[in-house]
């Protein structure tokens, strides 16, 4: 499917402006990956720390060659299986890649999103850097209205409705002999191992020096406090919004997910943001673990843990 992108968005990117656009994961704040002034605007607009590198979004796998110094065989296999889609690959970078993109690292992160608006915008311009289109510190945006709430009229926003996945892409480093997940996402460890026919590792994101610099920042937090449900909680407490996995109760402050973790992932950041708008003081989530067979569980646990602890 070819979607037409209004020329004003294409021109804005070409003139070095930032444009927010939908991807299948979350909305991104896009800028030309070869324009240092445009990239500087991304950092300034978001209030993003300059030591946090950006993902380059491409419209075709062949565009990797402009950024990566080589494409390991593992990456080749994963691209064939999962692109376009929510998998970001970290490559050794070519020397021409701007320092503003990589925050001075010698690697560059690249993904090809599957959202048609994103693909068409990139195909009509250049590869785009695109962090999540939220102010640093707020939950990533999964709806047009979220981007609008954070930036109002200060950036152009392409409305693509709600995103499908709802959590950011899996980030996988393929520069070593054993690939390593730096940020969990809907494409899980087992999915990747199945394609590669080898075991891969997962970076301990609690370490002081995570390999994916963004993992040390809290991106996911609303004003309401995020808590795991425990026996001290009272479902009658109207200052708390409860996200439960299986319940008979029907109350306006209780959302029943019926163990649909994909739906919880899709809605999580919207629930966080809406909780603030509705004046809830806490968002209380029923605990779960990876006993349930859904590839998104490690990613959900990662985002919720960050929101509860920071
Ligand atoms: O789903 C997504 O990935 C969304 C959409 C818009 O594509 N983008 C996104 O971007 O989540 P951002 O900037 O919010 O997160 C990028 C993550 C950060 O944790 C960053 O540290 C990591 O990717 N990253 C970027 N370049 C890296 C590199 N060269 N090495 C390791 N980690 C890198
Ligand atoms: Mg982000």
pLDDT in tens, 58-87: 999 999 999 999 999 999 999 999 999 999
Mutate to test the pocket of ligand 1, among 25, 109, 150, 172 (most ligand atoms within 8 A of CB): 109
- Note the pLDDT of residue 208: 47
Q: Average pLDDT in the 183-188 region?
A: 97
- Statement: residue 163 has pLDDT above 90: yes
Note whether 299 and 170 are within 8 A (CB): yes
- Averaged pLDDT of the chain: 94
Report the chain's terminal Cα–Cα distance, integer Å.
Answer: 42
Binding-site residues, ligand 1, Cβ < 6 A: 23, 25-26, 28, 52-55, 86, 88, 90, 102, 105, 107-109, 113, 130-132, 168-169, 171, 182-183, 211-215
- Note the pLDDT of residue 204: 77
Nearby residues of 86 by Cβ (< 8 Å), 6 or more positions away: 24, 25, 111, 113, 114, 165, 168, 169, 170, 185, 186, 187
- Statement: residue 215 has pLDDT above 70: no
How far, in Å, are 233, 271, 272, 274, 299 from residue 283 at the CA level? Answer: 11, 8, 7, 10, 18
Cβ neighbours around 96 below 10 Å, total = 8
* Cross-strand pairs, 91: 108
Closest ligand 1 atom to the C-alpha of 57? Answer: 7
pLDDT one-digit tens code per residue, 140-155:
999 999 999 999 989 9
> From the CA of 215, how far away is ligand 1's center (Å)?
9
Note whether 92 and 64 are within 8 A (CB): no
Provide the pairing of β-strand 240-244 with 282-285. Answer: parallel
Provide the pairing of β-strand 156-157 with 55-57. Answer: unpaired
pTM: 0.95
Euclidean distance between CA atoms 196 and 177, whole angstroms = 12
Nearby residues of 113 by Cβ (< 8 Å), 6 or more positions away: 23, 24, 25, 28, 57, 84, 85, 86, 119
Starting at the edge strand found earlier in the chain, the sheet holding 156-157 runs 156-157, 19-21, 28-32, 128-129, 55-57, 107-111, 87-92, 170-173, 180-183, 201-202
Nearby residues of 248 by Cβ (< 8 Å), 6 or more positions away: none
Going by pLDDT thresholds of 50, 70 and 90, the confidence category of residue 310 is: low
Going by pLDDT thresholds of 50, 70 and 90, the confidence category of residue 119 is: very high
């Amino acid at each position: 499917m070819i979607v037409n992108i209004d020329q004003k968005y294409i021109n804005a990117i070409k003139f070095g402006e930032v444009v927010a656009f939908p991807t299948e994961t979350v909305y991104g704040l896009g800028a030309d990956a070869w324009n240092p002034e445009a990239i500087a605007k991304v950092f300034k607009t978001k209030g993003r720390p300059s030591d946090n590198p950006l993902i380059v979004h491409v419209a075709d796998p062949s565009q990797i060659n402009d950024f990566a110094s080589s494409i390991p065989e593992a990456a080749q296999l994963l691209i064939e299986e999962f692109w376009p889609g929510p998998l970001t690959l970290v490559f050794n970078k070519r020397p021409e890649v701007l320092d503003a993109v990589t925050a001075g690292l010698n690697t560059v992160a690249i993904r090809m999103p599957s959202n048609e608006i994103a693909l068409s915008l990139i195909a009509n311009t250049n590869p785009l850097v695109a962090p999540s289109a939220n102010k640093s510190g707020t939950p990533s945006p999964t709806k047009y209205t979220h981007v609008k709430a954070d930036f109002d009229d200060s950036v152009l926003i392409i409305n693509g409705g709600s995103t499908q996945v709802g959590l950011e892409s899996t980030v996988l480093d393929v520069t070593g002999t054993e690939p390593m997940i730096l940020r969990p996402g809907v494409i899980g460890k087992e999915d990747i191992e199945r394609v590669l026919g080898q075991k891969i590792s997962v970076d301990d994101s609690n370490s002081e020096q995570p390999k994916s610099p963004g993992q040390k920042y809290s991106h996911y937090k609303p004003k309401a406090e995020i808590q795991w449900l425990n026996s001290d909680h009272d479902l009658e407490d109207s200052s708390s919004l409860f996200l439960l996995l299986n319940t008979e109760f029907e109350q306006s402050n209780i959302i029943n997910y019926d163990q649909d973790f994909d739906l919880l992932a899709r809605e999580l950041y919207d629930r966080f943001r809406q909780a603030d708008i509705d004046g809830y003081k806490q968002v209380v989530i029923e605990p779960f673990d990876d006993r349930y067979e859904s590839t998104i569980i490690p990613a959900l646990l990662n985002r919720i843990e960050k929101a509860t602890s920071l």
